[in-house]
Structure 1
Amino acid sequence: MNFIMTVCGYPFGWLMYGLYHLIGNYGVALVLFTLVVKVLLFPLGLKQQKSTIKMQMIQPKVQEIQAKYKNNQAKMNEELQALYSKENYSPMSGCGPTLIQFPVIFGLLDVVYKPLTHLLRLSSENINALTAVATDLGVGMTGYAPQINIYQSVMQNPAAYSSVGADVIQKIQSLNMNFLGLDLSGTPNLPWQGGWNWLVLIPVLSAATALLSSIISMRNSPNMGQAGASMKLMMYIMPLMSLWFTFLVPVGVGIYWTLSNVFSCVQMVILNKIYNPKEVAERMKAEEKERAERERQERIEAKKRAKEALKNGERVEDTTYLSDKEKIKEARRRYAEKYGDEYTDD
């Protein structure tokens, strides 16, 4: 896991480094970072929106196939694949944006956990020296973010780290991790965890905005059967997980998730303006009805042509639309034609 976070954190670390040194404030850089990520992921969000609407449209057909072949899994899968192919739909098309979120989160965690590496660009030798001093001082180094612990220790007792070098200490002291009066290097505390601090508001905001985002998403998604029930369940589980996890990590992570949820709500509003689910669903229904009517007319015309050809004694290439009696008559005519017999229409 540490390797994955390091790999994902490398590009995001440079992004945060550039934003931080451009703005000079960690919190503002985090806001811009979140906004940049959301803008980059917007095309994927639009693709996911289209995929979701498409799935909602074919869901009744999917449920019909599932009910019809519930005792034959192989046939069910075959029919579902045929349906997806006919409708030009891929069940995996909506997973991309969700999967991409994971390296983003891993990258952000690495950036937030390692400010000495990503924001200050300290060498591994300097970080190892700081770690050794912090360990001698009894600073906890086994948590989620040992570099955060080192940062806090240096800020509280810089003289203890004089052996590392004045330039390194000065760099650490120049790191501004305050945002709106909050220390983003800290973690939220409840009264039974050693005292109250205002950072506890961040997990609450993270959970509340996650719930709001889920509610907006559900309102834009009509009932999808079993999938819809799962979505409703996740609507409550995800905010609770967010609430719990943001108590374990530096506030910077909670700030990112809160901002990400807010931007997601804004993104959904924009997507609904560009690609409104109800309007698209109505248009797709109209197109489906038009296609069905066109196919019906084509079948009628094909049937007329087949009967006309049979009536004129011509060869009927497509007997699909003939009655059983007419099919037998055409088969007899072809048999006679093949073996040189004389065919008479009884």
Structure 2
Amino acid sequence: MWEVFKDWIFNAIEFFYNFCGDWGLAIIIVTIIFRVILAPLMHKQAKSNYQMQKIQPKIAAIQQKYADDQVRQSQEMQKLYAEAKFNPLAGCVPMLLQMPIFIALFQTLREMGSRPEVAGDFTFYNIVPNLTMTPADAFAGGFGTFVPYLVLMIIFAGATFLPMVLMQMKSENTQQKNQTLMMAGVMSIFMLWISWTSPAGVLLFWGTSSLIGIAQQQGSLAICRRADARAAEAEVIEVKPVEVNVTRKVKKPRPTKKR
């Protein structure tokens, strides 16, 4: 079943290659299609991350207050989640659902060069000479050959680092921000190491997918912030002083008594 799924993905890439005549562009088109299909799941994931960031200070306060009472801490956390209408699993489910698709795409692109039904060079408009070649192999061919692969490596790693940075831009928790940025830096170095032996087609797919994901994430965060702003405006009730129009009667002069 897994091999059949991978064949479907390859057939989709091959279809767009026959249409546009370039393997790199075909990979980008298929990546965009998959990202559009997964857009609702990505929005839920971004919304969950946004809600988690909002209640993070309260979570930290509960953990500190009930550090010696795990039962009470768990109860208070559940109460907080209920009040905030936050489900901790909401951000994990979309990720788990999309992982098989990305793994299948990754494996399909990695094995594309060995498919017997494919003929011709796996080029990307002469920008990347061979999408089946790894940066390690390209480096052996000289710096001029290696440059486009280096660019793909930087995009591949940078697109992993950037979403974490953008998520922490407005965070007031300095300690958490520093920890996240440090973790993002380590992950980017790890991604550079992975990309060194990955085919250029895989790097092109993952870089394109990550850049689209960043745009989707920022769009989802903007929607969440607008919704919060509207909710805050709705809660503000303007209390105006009651205006009472009182018309005083003109007092008539008292008649004077005649003496």
Q: Corresponding residue for 1:204?
A: 154
Secondary structure of the structure 2 residue equivalent to 1:52:
helix
Paired letter, 2:32: L
What is the Cα deviation at residue 89 of structure 1?
1.2
Paired letter, 1:263: I
In structure 1, which of residues 18, 21, 24 is the aligned counterpart of residue 21 of structure 2?
Answer: 24
Provide, for residues 40-87 of structure 1, a one-character-per-residue CA deviation record: whole Å limited to 9, x for no partner. Answer: 121122222322232233223322221221001122112211221232
How many Å separate the matches in 2 of 1:48 and 1:109? 22
Checking the alignment, whether the CA contact within 8 Å between 2:59 and 2:77 is kept in structure 1 is yes
Q: Quickly say closer, same or farther: Cα 1:100–1:47, change in 2 above 3 A.
A: same
Alignment of 1:1-346 (within 5 A): 6=3, 9-115=6-112, 148=113, 150=114, 171-172=117-118, 174-181=119-126, 182=128, 183-189=130-136, 193=140, 195-196=142-143, 197-198=145-146, 199-219=149-169, 222-223=171-172, 228-273=177-222, 275-277=223-225, 279-283=226-230
Q: Quickly say closer, same or farther: Cα 1:45–1:188, change in 2 above 3 A.
A: same
Paired letter, 1:103: P
User: Larger relative CO (CA 8 A, sep 6+): 1 or 2?
Assistant: 2
Checking the alignment, whether the CA contact within 8 Å between 2:152 and 2:204 is kept in structure 1 is yes
- The percentage of aligned residue pairs carrying the same residue is 25
Q: Quickly say closer, same or farther: Cα 1:36–1:94, change in 2 above 3 A.
A: same
How many Å separate the matches in 1 of 2:104 and 2:219? 26
Checking the alignment, whether the CA contact within 8 Å between 1:188 and 1:247 is kept in structure 2 is yes
Number of residue pairs the alignment of both structures matches: 232
Paired letter, 1:178: T
What is the Cα deviation at residue 99 of structure 1?
2.7
How many Å separate the matches in 1 of 2:72 and 2:230? 31
What is the Cα deviation at residue 233 of structure 1?
2.6
What is the Cα deviation at residue 249 of structure 1?
1.4
Paired letter, 2:90: S
Q: Quickly say closer, same or farther: Cα 1:90–1:11, change in 2 above 3 A.
A: farther
What is the Cα deviation at residue 91 of structure 1?
0.9
How many Å separate the matches in 2 of 1:87 and 1:269? 22
What is the Cα deviation at residue 289 of structure 1?
8.1
Q: Corresponding residue for 1:296?
A: none
Provide, for residues 262-307 of structure 1, a one-character-per-residue CA deviation record: whole Å limited to 9, x for no partner. Answer: 212322343344x153x444455567888xxxxxxxxxxxxxxxxx
CA RMSD of aligned residues (A): 3.1
How many Å separate the matches in 1 of 2:61 and 2:206? 39
How many Å separate the matches in 2 of 1:231 and 1:260? 22
Checking the alignment, whether the CA contact within 8 Å between 1:189 and 1:200 is kept in structure 2 is no
Q: Corresponding residue for 2:254?
A: none
Checking the alignment, whether the CA contact within 8 Å between 2:45 and 2:95 is kept in structure 1 is no
How many Å separate the matches in 1 of 2:180 and 2:101? 23
How many Å separate the matches in 2 of 1:200 and 1:60? 40
What is the Cα deviation at residue 175 of structure 1?
3.8
Long gaps (5+) in structure 1: 116-147, 152-167, 291-346
Long gaps (5+) in structure 2: 238-259
Secondary structure of the structure 2 residue equivalent to 1:207:
helix
Paired letter, 1:177: F
Q: Quickly say closer, same or farther: Cα 1:34–1:225, change in 2 above 3 A.
A: same
Deviates more, 1:101-110 or 1:252-261: 101-110
Secondary structure of the structure 2 residue equivalent to 1:93:
helix
How many Å separate the matches in 1 of 2:62 and 2:173? 15
What is the Cα deviation at residue 101 of structure 1?
4.1
What is the Cα deviation at residue 234 of structure 1?
2.9
